[in-house]
């Protein structure tokens, strides 16, 4: 087997297997938890949260060293990052509520200040005798080579809690994401639900620092949710699709990294997620680019067919080359522009339907009903056969369409 296939089937060694499983679990948790932040149009909050973890890592290291500890305890470092991330969230929320600054300005301020403080602290730590080999720079871009079993347990437990909380609170978070004013009117505390959304993202960010780093975890929170949106119109399904995309990206990215040891795992995971996003962008059945092109093509064909048939009904020559080619291809006219029997029948039907809609407007003074007429919607989809028969009674016998 090739190295990639071995890694894909968890045959590439203990460490590669641990990383692949941990990356898949983290990807699933990140995709699911980031869904409502994306739907709430607060994707940049995840960026601020991620950058706000860095000062906590530095402060936690300094505190543990000053207390005589090793300073590299993962639990201590994650706890410190969680504290400063939560402080960053509260600062963003306070600035947004208590000042006239927009949320994006508050996010930018918190992101820049906290990240700057974190870099300064890391620089200070490098001057300490215990900090020269601390390896804290791995929290920027992630480091999976030294991933231990307890790291995987932290990811599994923390990720499971985040996914469970997301599923449990999906209804109020969906309501707040789409209509916060209505949610407030129905009695929900929008501020607390917003903090819950951001808190879940913060939790996933903290547990993902070891694997993909604070810079790349933002991509794992947002890309799967954006990708999932291409495949469904229901928010309840977006959660699971986003989780599946994130899990797949984590697993495949870890397998690729294991098969090519020179490639960093975190960036590869993000690139795999981006590749899945591009495929979804292009080929999703409803919201994809290809589907949009096909819809436009069908609409264009419908418009040209209708205009050509109306020209046949009015005994006018078809001057548009594309329209003529379309009707010739469908057997409605001959290459010289003369209508066939099928073309004359359909032209008569289109002209009759035009007059039926005129009659419908006179009988039904209802803009909501007759306003559905766009020239392309068949009248049979709007009115019953009895109503159409009434229109025909008012219009009189149909007029045959002769050869052009």
Q: How far apart are CA 49 and CA 130, in angstroms?
A: 28
Tokens 């977006």, residue located: 238
Q: How far apart are CA 199 and CA 161, in angstroms?
A: 12
CB contact at 8 A, 376 and 306 = yes
Burial 79-118 (b: 16+ CB within 10 A, else e): ebbbbbbbebbebbbebbeeeeeebeebbbebbeebbebb
Q: Rounded mean pLDDT of the chain?
A: 85
Domain-by-domain residue ranges, the chain? 3-284, 290-395
Among 62-66, 86-90, 210-214, name the most confident range. Answer: 86-90
- Which pLDDT belongs to residue 246? 94
- Which pLDDT belongs to residue 265? 81
Does residue 277 register a pLDDT over 90?
yes
Neighbouring C-beta atoms of residue 242, cutoff 10 Å: 31
Q: How far apart are CA 79 and CA 53, in angstroms?
A: 10
Going 215 to 220 to 226 to 227, the CA torsion angle's sign is: positive
Strand-pairing partners, residue 333, are 339
Percent of the chain having pLDDT more than 70?
91
Q: What pTM does this model have?
A: 0.82
Closest CA relative to residue 7, chosen from 112, 374, 17, 273: 17
pLDDT tens, 3-56? 888 877 788 788 888 888 888 999 999 999 999 989 988 888 888 888 888 899
- Which pLDDT belongs to residue 278? 97
- Which pLDDT belongs to residue 137? 67
The token pair that represents 246 in the structure block: 């994130």
Strand-pairing partners, residue 215, are none
Does residue 183 register a pLDDT over 70?
yes
Q: How far apart are CA 263 and CA 252, in angstroms?
A: 13
What are phi and psi for residue 70, nearest 5 degrees? -70, -35
Q: Which helix (H) or strand (E) holds 3?
A: helix 3-8
Does residue 134 register a pLDDT over 60?
no
Closest CA relative to residue 93, chosen from 172, 176, 199: 199
pLDDT tens, 113-131? 998 998 898 888 877 766 5
Does residue 69 register a pLDDT over 50?
yes
Domain 3-284 has CATH 3.40.50.280: no
């Amino acid at each position: 087997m090739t190295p990639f296939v071995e890694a894909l089937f968890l045959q590439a060694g203990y460490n590669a297997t641990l990383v692949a499983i941990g990356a898949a679990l983290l990807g699933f948790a990140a995709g699911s938890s980031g869904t409502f932040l994306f739907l709430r149009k607060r994707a940049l909050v995840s960026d601020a949260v991620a950058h706000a973890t860095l000062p906590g890592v530095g402060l936690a290291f300094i505190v543990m060293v000053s207390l005589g500890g090793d300073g590299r305890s993962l639990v201590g470092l994650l706890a410190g990052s969680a504290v400063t991330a939560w402080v960053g969230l509260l600062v963003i929320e306070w600035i947004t509520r208590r000042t006239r600054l927009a949320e994006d300005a508050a996010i930018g301020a918190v992101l820049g200040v906290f990240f700057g403080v974190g870099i300064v602290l890391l620089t200070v730590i490098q001057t300490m005798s215990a900090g020269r080999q601390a390896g804290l720079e791995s929290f920027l871009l992630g480091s999976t080579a030294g991933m231990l079993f307890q790291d995987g347990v932290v990811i599994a437990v923390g990720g499971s809690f985040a996914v469970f909380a997301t599923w449990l609170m999906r209804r109020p978070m969906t309501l707040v994401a789409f209509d916060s004013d209505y949610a407030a009117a129905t009695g929900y505390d929008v501020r607390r639900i917003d903090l819950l959304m951001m808190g879940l993202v913060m939790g996933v960010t903290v547990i993902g620092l070891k694997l993909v780093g604070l810079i790349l975890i933002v991509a794992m929170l947002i890309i799967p949710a954006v990708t999932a949106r291409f495949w469904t119109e229901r928010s309840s399904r977006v959660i699971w699709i986003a989780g599946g995309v994130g899990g797949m990206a984590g697993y495949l990215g870890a397998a690729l990294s294991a098969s090519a040891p020179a490639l960093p795992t975190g960036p590869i995971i993000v690139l795999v997620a981006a590749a899945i996003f591009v495929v979804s962008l292009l080929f999703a059945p409803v919201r994809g680019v290809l589907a949009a092109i096909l819809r436009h093509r069908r609409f264009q064909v419908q418009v040209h067919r209708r205009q050509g048939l109306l020209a046949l009904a009015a005994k006018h020559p078809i001057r548009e080359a594309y329209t003529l080619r379309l009707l010739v291809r469908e057997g409605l006219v001959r290459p010289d522009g003369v209508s066939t029997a099928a073309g004359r029948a359909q032209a008569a039907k289109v002209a009759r339907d035009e007059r039926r809609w005129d009659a419908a407007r006179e009988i039904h003074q209802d803009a909501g009903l007759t306003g559905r007429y766009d020239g392309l919607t068949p009248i049979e989809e709007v009115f019953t056969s009895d109503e159409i028969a009434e229109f025909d009674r008012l219009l009189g016998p149909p007029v045959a369409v002769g050869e052009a």
